Amino acid sequence: MWSFRAWRQARILARAPYTQHHWAQVRERLTILDGLNADEDQRLFQCAVLFLHHKHLTALPGVHLDDSDRLTLAALAELPLLHLADLNWYQGFHELVLYPDDFVSPQRHRDASGVEHEWDGEHSGEAWLQGPVILAWPGVQASGGWDGYNLVIHELAHKLDMLNGDANGLPPLHRNMRIEDWASAMQSAYEQMNNLLDADPEAQTALDPYAAENPAEFFAVTSEYFFSAPDLLNEAFPAVYSQLAAFYRQDPLSRLRTLQAEHPAYQEPLNAEQSTTKG
C-alpha cells in the first residue's frame, strides 16, 4: 500500500548529503555497532539520516562538525530506538546543543526556541524537560566503545524517561511489560547500590556510582551500560538487564558475546574513563 510517510522518508533520504562512505566512517568509529546485522546496519543509517533531518544541531564556537561527526552523533542517538518501531520517541525535543567542553563556567546560549541557557557547574550533558539536549562534544567523541560510557545514550535515555512526565526512571513501557516487574528490578538494584555506598562512599561499585544519585540517573546510567557494557550490567543486575532488553527490544549482550567468540580482542576487559559527570 502506498504510504505518504514512506514516500516522504524516501525523498528525505535521497536528498540527504550523507552517503555510504560517511556511514563506513561511522562504523569505523563506533565499535558498539559491531555485531549489528546487515538489515539493522542499513536501518540505523537511514534512521540517523532522518534524525539529522528532523533535529537541529547547534554547535557552539569551538565545535566543528563535519558530515561524519553529525552522522556519528545521530547513529548513537538512534541506536536505542532501532527496534522501537515507528513511535516518535524523540518528540520531546528539537535541538541538540554541542558545547566545546564540559560546562565549567557560567555560560549563556540562546537556543532556536529563544530560551536563554545559563550554566554553572561541571557537566558534560543535560537533558531538559521540554528543552534541548546539551552535550559536551568531547563526551560525544568519547562515546561509542564497549566501555560503559556513552554520553549520548545517557542524555537521550532521560528524554525517553520524560515522555510520560518528569524524569523518574520509568519511561512509557510496552504493553507486554509490567510496571511491577520494572519497578522491582530497578528498585532493588538501586537500593543495593545505595546501601553499598552509604556504608562506604568509596566502595567499588559494578556500575558508575552516579547511577545511585536518583532513579532517573539509574535508568540513564543502566541504559548506557546496556548498550556499551552489557556484560557488566547483566552480571551485576540481571533483572535490570532483562527489563531493559524488553524495553529496548535488543540484546546487546548476545552481540557482544558473538563478537567475543569471533575476535579475541573483544575479550579484553575494558575500563571506562569516567572523568566527566553527566546531568
Q: How far is the CB of 138 from Zn ion (least distance, A)?
A: 17
Cβ distance to Zn ion smaller for residue 217 or 231: 217
Cβ distance to Zn ion smaller for residue 22 or 278: 278
Cβ distance to Zn ion smaller for residue 45 or 128: 128
Cβ distance to Zn ion smaller for residue 220 or 256: 220
Which range of residues in 44-52, 101-109, 211-219, 259-267 is near Zn ion by CB under 5 A?
211-219
Q: How far is the CB of 152 from Zn ion (least distance, A)?
A: 12
Which range of residues in 81-89, 103-111, 129-137, 210-218 is near Zn ion by CB under 5 A?
210-218
Cell numbers at 208, concatenated? 558508575
Q: How far is the CB of 125 from Zn ion (least distance, A)?
A: 7
Q: How far is the CB of 208 from Zn ion (least distance, A)?
A: 10
Cβ distance to Zn ion smaller for residue 215 or 252: 215
Q: How far is the CB of 220 from Zn ion (least distance, A)?
A: 4
The angle that helices 67-78 and 38-54 make with each other, rounded to 10 degrees, is 110
Size of the site for Zn ion (CB under 5 A): 3
Cβ distance to Zn ion smaller for residue 49 or 189: 189
Find all residues with CB under 8 Å of 57, minimum gap 6, and list them.
65, 70, 73, 95, 96, 98
Q: Is there a contact between 140 and 152 (Cβ–Cβ < 8 Å)?
A: yes
Cβ distance to Zn ion smaller for residue 47 or 167: 167
Region at 98 (left for phi over 0; alpha for psi -120 to 50; beta for the rest): beta
Q: Is there a contact between 49 and 13 (Cβ–Cβ < 8 Å)?
A: yes
Q: Is 278 in the site for Zn ion (CB under 5 A)?
A: yes
The CA-based angle 252-77-133, given to 5 degrees, is: 135
Q: Which of residues 4-63 bind Zn ion (CB under 5 A)?
A: none
Cell numbers at 236, concatenated? 551485576
Which range of residues in 79-87, 110-118, 236-244, 271-279 is near Zn ion by CB under 5 A?
271-279
Q: How far is the CB of 160 from Zn ion (least distance, A)?
A: 12
Instruction: Convert residues 212-241 into a mask of x (bound to Zn ion by CB under 5 A) and - (unbound).
Output: -----x--x---------------------
Q: How far is the CB of 158 from Zn ion (least distance, A)?
A: 6
Positions that interact with Zn ion (CB under 5 A) = 217, 220, 278
